[in-house]
Structure 1
């Protein structure tokens, strides 16, 4: 149900309620233009293992998530509940003030509504260590991605270089759920539910991206491509948004009475200075051996694209006077008024012919630079005569842009001398190569979802199935264009699926020795077929038998474990080899580490009373960059006054009265990135933070001092607005 329908349903006057419903139905039919969609009720997250407590939102385990109640009290295994919104009329001591219902606690499922304040923690589930333990760790988080994004906002706001996501395509084939119900082709709110779901997540994701230089990559197919394009334009008005078409199945997927689908789409959202890093492939054609992919240093002087007509810039319409016998530019003429015919202009000397800015369709255009700048360029050798086109009976003019002139100053382009007409003779320096940017249609055999996706996954996870995995090499290509020159890049995928994005980052790091780090988020959803089978056996969500069949535990983590170690679950070497770019056996694995966590929620009272350090500790490790082995407290070890494990890049002071111990612990220590201090006194914290920086000295550049608990609580209280 959409938000407006929920509000209409709350109107007590039946006649007014009916009139409002009729008016809204009429208005809805007329809303055809632009991106107009229903803002649906906030999504809800079931917490199968949570025991209902006073104030919790609950539903019946056998019922739908949208049929919710608020718990007024729990006594002797029975919960007294009331409909949300009726709480002010009922109290724990007098619940009969409004309609209530008693339900057995065991029949109830605790529900967390998106938008409620959350206090997350991470429960360690597993890990793979196959690289330097002191190096960076990739991270897999089993969670609903909305709350995980809130957590990541606390950890990495403004620090992410690239987000790559492959959201549900909303095909109508029950490929995703909204409020725990499958959204199929018969759902009249199918598109608006999808847009509402995506909008909430994109708004949180935007906070993660570095506004100065980062990119968001979203893949999609024809079902939501147009809606998604408008949504991205709406949510990222300051960014450049570009769409690429990518062939992923050269045979095509059958569409009854329609063209077979062979492609999907990628939206690239460029923030700040983000730009494509060309790699010599145009992505449309398979590169031939020895193909020269470098671009020409010289550029055409004739303006193309928008603003290219004579009337758009009359002062840039003038003639180059060419000596056709000597094949050189004799001189540069003056601009002529907009109403004057070019045929009326006489040559400055006999035998010269005019080269005007004439477009390919024969209409009058304009040059890129002024006549004065052209004369200066002609004298310094940065403007030259180009080729003569016989069919059009005209010459072309080339010039060097400021960008090329700057590269000459930097030594990236070498000046070898001048030609007979005075133009500079140039070449790229031997250690510099500039190549063409790829085009917006990608047609690469390596992007085939069968060979690079399904077949590879079967080799890593024999006997397991996953629908429509991405080609590893398609994801690798998309990432490489933006992180090739960022060896320390932080990459996030919050629709992780089978884990292809992290697998691609592993390959990129192997290729150039990078230390890029990937954070994956995926739920542990069980397929519809497995869910039906498990229910027949008497299992339900939250049971170990049920969770073992979830995507994160059945596919994502095992796939990455096999990729890193080069071994299948039964210890056998993975068969086959990677057949793209660098070729090597899959069994070689990767020198990498991966930590696997499950998102959990804390009682805010425990956090405010500072009794949740053990649960928050993994968050501090991640906030400090997930570098080195993750420090832990022993099972029965009490919370310390000062937590300063050897070799860790962060330190925690849990008792502000022991400031001396903290200063002693960090004195002479290097490699620290974070110091966390537990205190509620803002002014005292400022003083302590300065003392810490002074004690840390120059051996810890960029050290961050964080006010723990207060910082944590305020962040997630504020985040309750994120679902709007």
Structure 2
């Protein structure tokens, strides 16, 4: 299989494993609570998206149903800088340097690929088995991105390249005006796309195609051909129309079904012979029977919006346009309609102006869903633009006839906190004890964490007849011995106990169904 090579690829392939795990520090003053006092499971994280994605792994690995990202297109005008501290002298020279135009920066594409590769690897880890990722891009990196995604997700998991018509008219100043962008779509596992993608809901335009000229009690319908190409002897019978006319299949074709099936359909009034009753029969397909419609790869702006619409949306929300090329809410809603259910987790790690969160909230409002969003934004405007847009969508915005009511929801706001493990492998004493408990619980069970330390200060939780304890007191050494065992309130068929050291012999641990794990050596690293 052809592969894409670039300077630094060999150094970044495994870099996502070297990224330090940081805890997330909640900033309650910047979040919003719903009327029920919850954040509805929504998160906005300010910080480098590679480190933020690593921080999400314990709780969300394999749980995200839909990822949408709108990374830098690498046009040379975006002012992004390479900031990953990869241990390679060539790459270290790139740190902090703004990536310029092709003639100014001959390693521009290398830097972009080195930046994207570990992030896509991390995103793949977060995707559920039936999840899909949608990536917006233009011609600057589309070809490179396609080959890189083939490398990470596998070419068999490529679903489509969507073409989005982003403009409403060509730019008259140019001889060839670019009116589209791409959205690359990959699945974690594309072997059964019915588990990955939904049918799109029918809209008013679709419904107008259906009519009911014969007052069929099943409701409006459209007719489709009742013939099939080719010659099948048992499908070459004669049909008498309601007007008494006898007809054979058209030349080179046969009837669509066996005669017994035809007679049943005729008896059930599922065939249409035209208003005069002497036409070639056509099968009636009912609007009520349609679960939805198949998506295709051409997304016109009449259906999903355009950049001018997106700019207006942002100006209405924040008072002025903050981005040159934002994405319209309708575009992301189309993505969500295709790739989510009402309980899905949606991730956007290049959050920008928070269009993804806006789309999630609006779709939840429309269909009564409980989708959750996770946004990550590196830039300083994470609070003043990204989170502020979501605050205003929740509170409602606009005035008079242009007022848009609020949506009852919430979110928690986070900054990237300290690393959990220090360079020497020891636990960082600055990390709150609760965060260490949460981390160990997720790495052990992948289940939601509930604080149970009120029952016992070392109790992590119980799942599947296994009880977990984390005997951690910061700088004070913890010892697994009979004195500790006598204080533990729960014992399952298996009891897992983390401690600094153990003084019980292995045969005694085996007899008591106890698994000892040493702190910090046997705490899993994500």
TM > 0.5 fold call = yes
| Alignment deviations for residues 331-378 of structure 1 (CA, whole Å, 9 cap, x no partner) | xxxxxxxxxxxxxxxxxxxx9788546xxxxxxxxx9xxxxxx99x51
What does 1:589-628 align with in structure 2 at a 5 Å threshold?
A: 589-602=406-419, 604-605=421-422, 608-609=426-427, 611=429, 612-614=431-433, 616=435
Give the greater-gyration-radius structure (CA): 1
Equivalent residue, structure 1, for 2:524 = 714
| Gap runs ≥5 in structure 2 | 83-94, 212-219, 274-280, 462-466, 472-479
Of 360, 363, 382, which aligns to 1:552?
382
The answer as to 2:350 corresponding to 1:511 is no
| Alignment check: 8 A CA contact 1:490 1:517 kept | yes
C-alpha distance in 2 between matches for 1:119 and 1:466:
31
Number of matched residues? 454
| Alignment check: 8 A CA contact 1:138 1:517 kept | yes
CA RMSD of superposed structures (Å): 4.8
Q: How much has 1:663 moved relative to structure 2?
A: 3.2
Equivalent residue, structure 1, for 2:261 = 381
Of 80, 99, 112, which aligns to 1:183?
99
The answer as to 2:349 corresponding to 1:494 is yes
C-alpha distance in 1 between matches for 2:499 and 2:184:
44
SS in 2 for 1:508: helix
The answer as to 2:157 corresponding to 1:224 is no
What does 1:645-664 align with in structure 2 at a 5 Å threshold?
A: 653-655=469-471, 657=484, 662-663=489-490
Relative to structure 1, the CA distance from residue 429 to residue 467 in structure 2 (aligned partners, 3 Å threshold; closer, same or farther) is closer
Relative to structure 1, the CA distance from residue 684 to residue 165 in structure 2 (aligned partners, 3 Å threshold; closer, same or farther) is farther
Equivalent residue, structure 1, for 2:8 = 39
Relative to structure 1, the CA distance from residue 473 to residue 714 in structure 2 (aligned partners, 3 Å threshold; closer, same or farther) is same
| Gap runs ≥5 in structure 1 | 1-32, 44-112, 304-315, 329-350, 358-366, 368-373, 385-399, 401-413, 525-549, 567-572, 579-584, 646-650, 667-674, 690-705, 717-724
The answer as to 2:424 corresponding to 1:455 is no
C-alpha distance in 2 between matches for 1:707 and 1:459:
55
C-alpha distance in 2 between matches for 1:420 and 1:249:
42
Equivalent residue, structure 1, for 2:475 = none
Relative to structure 1, the CA distance from residue 481 to residue 301 in structure 2 (aligned partners, 3 Å threshold; closer, same or farther) is farther
C-alpha distance in 1 between matches for 2:327 and 2:121:
25
What does 1:628-707 align with in structure 2 at a 5 Å threshold?
A: 641-642=457-458, 653-655=469-471, 657=484, 662-663=489-490, 678-679=498-499, 687=513
Equivalent residue, structure 1, for 2:268 = 416
| Alignment check: 8 A CA contact 2:239 2:248 kept | no
Q: How much has 1:217 moved relative to structure 2?
A: 0.7
Of 307, 331, 340, which aligns to 1:474?
331
Equivalent residue, structure 2, for 1:274 = 196
Q: How much has 1:597 moved relative to structure 2?
A: 0.8
The answer as to 2:78 corresponding to 1:167 is no
Q: How much has 1:197 moved relative to structure 2?
A: 2.3
Of 43, 48, 61, which aligns to 1:157?
61
C-alpha distance in 2 between matches for 1:711 and 1:658:
21
Equivalent residue, structure 2, for 1:243 = 161
Q: TM-score, normalised by structure 2?
A: 0.70
Q: How much has 1:242 moved relative to structure 2?
A: 0.4
C-alpha distance in 2 between matches for 1:504 and 1:489:
13
C-alpha distance in 1 between matches for 2:267 and 2:123:
46
Relative to structure 1, the CA distance from residue 290 to residue 250 in structure 2 (aligned partners, 3 Å threshold; closer, same or farther) is same
| Alignment deviations for residues 103-156 of structure 1 (CA, whole Å, 9 cap, x no partner) | xxxxxxxxxx86535131111223211242356320111121122222222221
Q: TM-score, normalised by structure 1?
A: 0.53
Relative to structure 1, the CA distance from residue 509 to residue 151 in structure 2 (aligned partners, 3 Å threshold; closer, same or farther) is same
| Alignment check: 8 A CA contact 2:44 2:374 kept | yes
